[in-house]
Chain A
Amino acid sequence: MTRDELNDALLRFGGKLERWPQPERDAARLLVKGDAVAAKMLSDFVAFEQAIAEACVPSRSARRRSAPC
Chain B
Amino acid sequence: VRGLALSFSGHVADADDITQDVFVMLWRRPDAWNAGGAAFSTWLYRVVVNRCIDQARRRRLRSWMPFGEAPDPVDDAPDSVSALAGREHLAEVRFMIRALPEKQRVALLLAVQGERSNADIGSILGISEGAAEQLLVRARRTLREKIKEKEGTQ
- Chain A positions within 8 Å of B, measured between CB atoms, are 8, 10-14, 19, 48-49, 51-59, 61-69
- A67 contacts which of B15, B105, B133, B140 (Cβ < 8 Å)? B15
Q: Is the interface of B mostly helix, strand, loop or mixed?
A: helix
Q: List 20 A-B contacts (CB under 8 A).
A: A11-B140, A12-B136, A14-B111, A14-B140, A48-B140, A48-B144, A51-B93, A52-B143, A53-B112, A55-B93, A55-B94, A56-B109, A59-B82, A62-B79, A63-B6, A65-B12, A66-B72, A66-B73, A67-B11, A69-B94
Taking CB atoms, residues of chain B closer than 8 Å to A69 are 7-8, 10, 94, 97-98, 105, 109
Point out the residue from A11, A62, A68 that lies within 8 Å of B141, measured CB to CB. A11
By the criterion of a CB under 8 Å from any partner CB, how many residues of chain B are at the interface? 42
Who on chain A is nearest to B93 by CB? A55
- Count CB-based A-B contacts (< 8 Å): 96
A65 to B78, CA, bound (A): 12
Query: When A66-B74, A67-B15 are in contact, do A48 and B141 touch as well, CB less than 8 Å?
Result: no
Say what secondary structure dominates the interface of chain A: helix
Q: Mark B110-154, 1 if CB is under 8 A from A, else 0.
A: 011100011000000000000001001100110110010000000
B60 on the A face (CB < 8 A): no
- Among A58, A61, A63, max chain B CB count under 10 A is at A58
Q: For A57, give its contact among B75, B81, B105 (CB under 8 Å).
A: B81
Cβ–Cβ contact A52 & B97, under 8 A: yes
Instruction: Give chain A nearest CB distance to B143 CB in angstroms.
Output: 7
Query: Which chain A residue lies CB-closest to B72?
Result: A66
> Known pairs A48-B140, A54-B85, A69-B7. 13 more at Cβ < 8 A?
A11-B140, A11-B141, A13-B118, A49-B112, A59-B77, A61-B75, A65-B77, A66-B10, A66-B72, A67-B10, A68-B6, A69-B10, A69-B109
Cross-chain contact of A59 among B7, B79, B112, B113 (Cβ < 8 A): B79
Q: Which residues of chain A are near B11, meaning CB under 8 Å? A: 67
**Known contacts A59-B81, A62-B75; is A51 also within 8 Å of B109 by CB?**
no
- Chain A residues near B101 (CB, 8 Å)? none
